[in-house]
Structure 1
Amino acid sequence: MISSNDFRTGTSIELDGSVWRVVEFLHVKPGKGSAFVRTKLKNAQTGSVVERTFRAGETVPQATLEKRTMQHTYKEGEQYVFMDMETYEEVRLSPEQMGTTVNYIKEEMEADVLFWNDTVLEVQLPTSVILEVTDTDPGVKGDTATGGTKPAIVETGAQVMVPLFISIGEKIKVDTRDGSYLGRET
């Protein structure tokens, strides 16, 4: 159990049979009446966001989440197959369960998979990954590092905005949180 006074951004709680993450919280102490905590909660399974108010000191069950390091071994049809690095068990995930991580995951890549009651909630990739550019407009003489950007398709099929001097076959570092270009990889 966790007190509403201990809520922080990212805290996971169980409400109505599902896991909710605290996105925002505000402890309010009005001049008249008792204090309360106004929160914005995001459902970890569906992604829906709700606002909910708790009395100060009210206790709610804290969600027990398990983080396992797993390796993406291969893709079978639409399913992404992950293998637990300790038990060698396989887990198949749909693109919906993967979320935006499908844009940046390659075979043989390790990721942290978050479980709640043996249900996959989230796949967490490293903050940056190295991907090869497979398609982009060719760079021309005079393109500079401080100039504009152009779209490039990387090996996973995702589109990343890159500087004009990047060409096909180069390896680039991409931020998995927002899909931005971080630099060349040598």
Structure 2
Amino acid sequence: MGTVSTSDFRKGLKIQIDGVPFLMVEMNFRKPGKGTALYECKLKNLLRNTVVDRTYRAGQTLEEADVMEFTAQYLYRQGENFVFMNNQDYEQYELAAEQVGDAAGFLKENMDCQVMTFNGNPIAITPPNHVVLQVVFAEPAPKGNTATGVQKPVKLESGAEILAPAFINEGDWLRVDTRTGEYVERTNAPE
């Protein structure tokens, strides 16, 4: 892998520190009155999903991470593992529940996701920003409760539970934001 100089630091850069891949989520340049410039970075560990703060002096170099992302189709769940297939070469990848994280609640079979690999091994997935899922369980709304902003828990076909407006019923189709797990709108069934 190549190296990256501090002058190339930017948000979204993927680097490797002690054999572990990190994503640069924030970078601030600071030039004190004396001495060399400093690069204050927030780095997200791509294996553990933890964030660390690191400061580098101008001119330092770091190693680039061998991280790739590609589109893959979610096939099925096998025990605690999730199976995805690369849309280009049809190779299959298994990810553990910890690697999939909260996205597991929004996965439907045949859905396209982004799979991230490090040194050829899958480490994480990113589902589409919005998905359309059917409500499989919703408590009936109390009669006469028409106040705006009233929400109730509903269960979706993927197993996720979210808060939705009181007028939502079983069988309704909802658009859900997978980044926040929030209800967006009621919609028609996908075609």
Residue type matched to 2:153 in 1? P
Partner of 1:108: 110
Residue type matched to 2:44 in 1? K
Q: Distance in 1 between matches of 2:147 and 2:187?
A: 15
Partner of 1:177: 179
Partner of 1:2: 4
Q: Where does 1:91-106 land on structure 2 (aligned, <5 Å)?
A: 91-106=93-108
Q: Indicate the larger mover: 96-105 or 143-152.
A: 143-152
Residue type matched to 1:61 in 2? E
Question: Would you say 1:137 and 2:136 are equivalent positions?
Answer: no
Q: Indicate the larger mover: 38-47 or 3-12.
A: 3-12
Q: Which runs of 5+ in 2 are unaligned?
A: none
With over 3 angstroms needed to count, the CA separation of the structure-2 counterparts of 1:124 and 1:143, relative to structure 1, is: same
Q: Distance in 2 between matches of 1:5 and 1:136?
A: 53
Residue 91 of structure 1 and its aligned partner are, at CA, apart by: 1.2
Q: Note the alpha carbon deviations across 1:37-76, whole angstroms, 9 max, x for none.
A: 1112111001222211111132212223222211111111
Q: Where does 1:40-59 land on structure 2 (aligned, <5 Å)?
A: 40-59=42-61
Secondary structure (helix, strand or coil) at the match of 2:185 reads strand
With over 3 angstroms needed to count, the CA separation of the structure-2 counterparts of 1:83 and 1:145, relative to structure 1, is: farther
Q: Indicate the larger mover: 138-147 or 169-178.
A: 138-147
Contact 1:14–1:60 under 8 Å retained in 2: yes
Partner of 1:30: 32
Q: Distance in 2 between matches of 1:97 and 1:55?
A: 33
Out of 9, 13, 17, which is 2:19 matched to?
Answer: 17
Contact 1:145–1:164 under 8 Å retained in 2: no
Contact 1:39–1:53 under 8 Å retained in 2: yes
Residue type matched to 1:99 in 2? G
The size of the alignment, in residue pairs, is 186
Q: Where does 1:163-174 land on structure 2 (aligned, <5 Å)?
A: 163-174=165-176
Q: Distance in 1 between matches of 2:167 and 2:29?
A: 50
With over 3 angstroms needed to count, the CA separation of the structure-2 counterparts of 1:145 and 1:118, relative to structure 1, is: farther
Calculate the TM-score normalised by the size of structure 1: 0.93
Secondary structure (helix, strand or coil) at the match of 2:64 reads coil
Residue 141 of structure 1 and its aligned partner are, at CA, apart by: 4.4
Secondary structure (helix, strand or coil) at the match of 1:182 reads strand
Secondary structure (helix, strand or coil) at the match of 1:61 reads strand
Partner of 2:71: 69
Question: Would you say 1:124 and 2:126 are equivalent positions?
Answer: yes
With over 3 angstroms needed to count, the CA separation of the structure-2 counterparts of 1:121 and 1:145, relative to structure 1, is: farther
Calculate the TM-score normalised by the size of structure 2: 0.91
Secondary structure (helix, strand or coil) at the match of 1:20 reads strand
Out of 155, 160, 163, which is 1:161 matched to?
Answer: 163
Residue 166 of structure 1 and its aligned partner are, at CA, apart by: 0.4
